[in-house]
Chain A
Amino acid sequence: MEIKGYSMPGDTLNAAVIVKLEPDFSEGNVSYNADGTLNRAETKSILGPHSAVASSAAFYAKVRYGARIAVTTMGPPIADVALQQAQVICDADELHLYSDRIFAGADTLATAEVLRNGIAKVEGGKVDLVFSGHRASDGETGQTGPQTAWKLGFTFLGNVIDYDIDLQNRMVRAKRLISLQGFYDVIEEVEAPLPVFIAIDPSYKASFSTVSQRLAFEKYQKEGRARAQDFKRYLKVFNAQQLGADPKLVGLPGSPTIVYKVERIPKAKASRKAEVIDGSSREELRKAAAKMYEILGEMIIK
């Protein structure tokens, strides 16, 4: 793990965002099979919601610090849609698609390997900040971000709800939201030198307080929309060879894990015996209401 020489004080800030094309879980777009499982064939794909939050965090770096932004993804050719949707959000200067048939079937470790090679191609390898979402909506492992960070040798900060950058000293100051099971939630404030990899918490919301920030926000937002209309101009596609990826470390050969089987979760033994009542019967609902109050410890006085 080597930390390379990145940028110097006064240099432009270079940011990359890692995004993912995911099934659209919004009602009307998502389709479920009769057994409650996702119907992938019928469900449209879009930029994942966590990827969208990551893009908005990168946009903050553009508005506040004039960062250059590259949005990157690994996926089939149609995944360029996710790049386009992210460009609308963050006014990306470059879009990178890492696409090769040998990448297919990758688990998180093999995916991180591709992304590591990809990020090394952004701005000649001089990247200060990488953003990813908290986890994907479909896979939900949350592994790809931290594993990519580790392979890059970047400091990983997860669950980030707020961040700012000290350009002069090339430092990040971030707030992280951590749930300590059985104890409490903690907001932790940390400081780390660039380069840093930030996995952004779903609750992140950028705020722009000054007039000049709001003006910059509007300008770049407009620019982002215009660029996304013509997104192919900003798109670069890389295959495994162009990335210099080792075929043994990507795709199925580079994946330690396999999916051995998928089954329906067997119905658990009934843990309670329900009394079924008719929801249109006032009499029965009256009894149900009384029962609920009784349990809640409130005495009923007749």
Chain B
Amino acid sequence: MTEKYQHLYVVVEHEDGKPVPVSLEMLGEARRLMDGFNTKYRSDEKVVAVVLGHGVRKLCEELIFFGADAAIYSDSPEFKHARNLVDTKVISEIAKDRELASKFSKAADFVKPRYMFFAADNIGRQLSSTVLAELESGLASDINKLVIEDLEIKHEHKTKGQALKYEKTLEMYRPDFSGFLWTTILCLDNRNPAIAREYHPQACSIIPGVFAPIERDTSRRGTIVEHRPSFAERDLRVKVIGRKIVKSDVDFDSHKAIVSFGRGVKEAPEENIRLVSRLAEQLEGEVGISLPISKKPFAVSEVTSSKFMIPDRVVGTSGRKVAPLVYVAVGISGAMQHIAGMKESTFVVAINPDENAPIKDECDIFIKGRMEDVIPLLLEELQKQKPAIRAK
């Protein structure tokens, strides 16, 4: 008898056959987890990449080089662009398809995957939600750490208060909005007889930029399996009638400097944001913000709010990952999610009155002081030196 729930399915996103970076990052983490899993449990469960697209067979080979044991692809012009409705239907079908699983494993009793990964981006967040609604199982979102463990669980509902062992449980860690707390989410079968119900796969969406892909290894071999999709008319009722590439008004990539601010502006938000903005201008840089600022926590003028306190400017795991030559963090304490978005910067300057703030361990120069006092002086010094440069 084989197991009902096997393997780790990774739903891959790509743009015209080129994988988005988080897809390879998910495969890397999946590879590490399942290598550990197979050693620990003396089993042979697979990392399975799932791809929808048109002309994506070549991509499947790449996915195997990047850690997958098998790749299931479904090919149709209908998959040219991601569409939640039809994608959800086909991915759910693939997840429940025993025939497909039997192409790369002993799957006589296969029902659904044991684990499932999605990208925590615009497409994957929504796709994971609808796929797990269809598969009727649990989903943790925005995960940045994963562990597989045997856990003893005592839970009023899940186990009716008894201590029961849950083997091969995926511990899914997600940082909360403050960036200071880590919540571990588990997806567990109800073993309480009154509400008995099995919940698989254990699924999550994974924050881009957190996990490392494995090195591309062209000697890796795997099984590539084709799923032939069939569509009902109503699966295709969303029509993409136009698609336009846009440039954000906020341009982090072509600026050598970024000056970001956080909740530390709170004592005089309007004035302090103006100071930050002037500092950015002086350095010919772009202005960034920390996540809490995008929730518009201060009453400021509409102009300031709509220009600066917007999601587009967020640096961190909930926003953009940046790597300028100079990154200035003004009134930012340094929550993990923010650090993840700026740690690749060449040189980091922090302006902060609190020497115990975590940002101190992430910067090269820590200017101790209130921004109200420091920035005007710093601006003067920068201005004094500027003409000398221009003179060159």
Q: Which residues of A contact B (CB under 8 A)?
A: 3, 25-27, 30, 32, 35-38, 49, 107-109, 112, 137-138, 140-143, 145-147, 149-151, 155-159, 173, 177-193, 199, 202-203, 248, 252-253, 255-265, 267-280, 282, 284-286, 288-293, 295-302
Partner of A260, one of B186, B245, B310: B186
Give B124-146 as 1s and 0s: 1 = Cβ < 8 Å from A's Cβ atoms: 01101110111011111110000
**A138 contacts which chain B residues (CB < 8 A)?**
177
Whether A278 pairs with B381 at a CB distance below 8 angstroms is no
Question: Which of A151, A263, A292, A299 has the most B CB atoms < 10 Å from its CB?
Answer: A292
Q: Which of B42-50, B54-62, B223-231, B382-390 contacts A (4 or more CB under 8 A)?
A: B382-390
A288 CB contact (under 8 Å) in B139, B192, B325, B367: B367
> Does the CB pair A258–B186 fall under 8 Å?
yes
Is B351 in the interface zone, CB < 8 Å from A? yes
Interface secondary structure of B, over-half rule: mixed
B311 touches A203 (CB 8 A): yes
> Which of chain B's residues have a CB closer than 8 A to the CB of A107?
138
Report whether B138 and A276 are in contact in the complex, using a CB–CB cutoff of 8 Å: no
Given contacts A146-B126, A182-B21, contact A279 B155 (CB under 8 A): no
Chain A residues whose C-beta falls within 8 Å of the C-beta of B20 in the assembled complex: 180-183
Cα–Cα, bound, A178→B122 (Å): 6
Q: Does B257 contact A (CB under 8 A)?
A: yes
Least Cβ–Cβ distance between B341 and chain A, in angstroms: 13
**Interface membership of chain B positions 10-48, coded 1 if the CB is closer than 8 angstroms to chain A and 0 otherwise:** 000001000011100000000000000000000000000
Name 10 interchain pairs, CB-CB below 8 A, sorted by A.
A25-B297, A107-B138, A137-B295, A140-B176, A147-B133, A255-B138, A264-B182, A265-B336, A271-B343, A280-B374
Closest chain B residue to A138, Cβ basis: B177
State in angstroms the CA–CA spacing of A180 and B15 once bound together: 8
Residues of B within 8 A of A178 (CB): 82, 122-123
The answer to whether residues A274 and B243 also contact, given A180-B20, A289-B381, A296-B283 and a CB cut-off of 8 A, is no
Q: Give the complex CA separation of A252 and B47 in angstroms.
A: 31
| A279 lies within 8 A of B248 (CB) | no
Contact of B364 among A155, A187, A274 (CB under 8 A): A274
Option from B141, B246, B347 in Cβ contact (under 8 Å) with A142: B141
Do residues B369 and A156 form an inter-chain contact, with CB atoms below 8 A? no
Contact call B361/A267, Cβ cutoff below 8 A: yes
A37→B181 contact, CB < 8 A:
yes
Query: How many angstroms between the C-alpha atoms of A141 and B366 in the bound complex?
Result: 34
B84: contacting residue among A146, A286, A296, A297, CB under 8 A: A146
Q: From known contacts A112-B133, A143-B139, A156-B130, infer whether A279 and B385 are also in contact, taking CB-CB under 8 Å.
A: no
A289 and B382: CB pair below 8 A? Answer: yes
Q: Are A300's CB and B389's CB within 8 A?
A: yes
Q: Contacting A137 at CB < 8 Å: which of B177, B247, B347?
A: B177
Q: Is the CB of B388 within 8 A of A296?
A: no
Q: Is B335 an interface residue (CB 8 A)?
A: yes
Question: Which of B95-103, B107-115, B232-240 binds A?
Answer: B232-240
B365 touches A274 (CB 8 A): yes
The CA of A85 and the CA of B31, in the complex, are separated in Å by 48
For A184, the closest partner residue in chain B by CB is B245
Distance, CA A140 to CA B119, complexed state (A): 15
With a CB–CB cut-off of 8 A, which chain B residues contact A30? 297
A238 to chain B, nearest CB (A): 22
How far is the CB of A222 from the nearest CB of chain B, in Å?
A: 22
User: Which B residues, 73 to 103, have Cβ-Cβ distances below 8 Å to chain A?
Assistant: 81-85, 88
Does B322 touch A at the CB level, under 8 Å? no
Q: B155 to A36, Cβ gap below 8 A?
A: no
- Chain A residues within 8 Å of B157, by CB: 252-253
Contacts of A192 in B (CB 8 A): 237-239
CB distance from B45 to the nearest CB of A (A): 21
3 pairs of A and B residues whose beta carbons are closest in the complex: A279-B369, A256-B138, A270-B361
Is there contact, CB below 8 Å, between B84 and A274?
no
Within 8 Å CB of A142, what residues of B?
Answer: 125-126, 129, 141
CB of B122 within 8 A of CB of A158, answer yes
| Inter-chain contact A277/B368, CB cutoff 8 Å | yes
A147 and B177 CA atoms in complex are apart in Å by 22
User: CB-CB < 8 A to B296: which residues of A?
Assistant: 26, 49
A182 to chain B, nearest CB (A): 5
Whole-angstrom distance between the Cβ of A294 and the nearest chain B Cβ: 9
Known: A259-B184, A296-B326. A267 touches B295 (CB 8 A): no
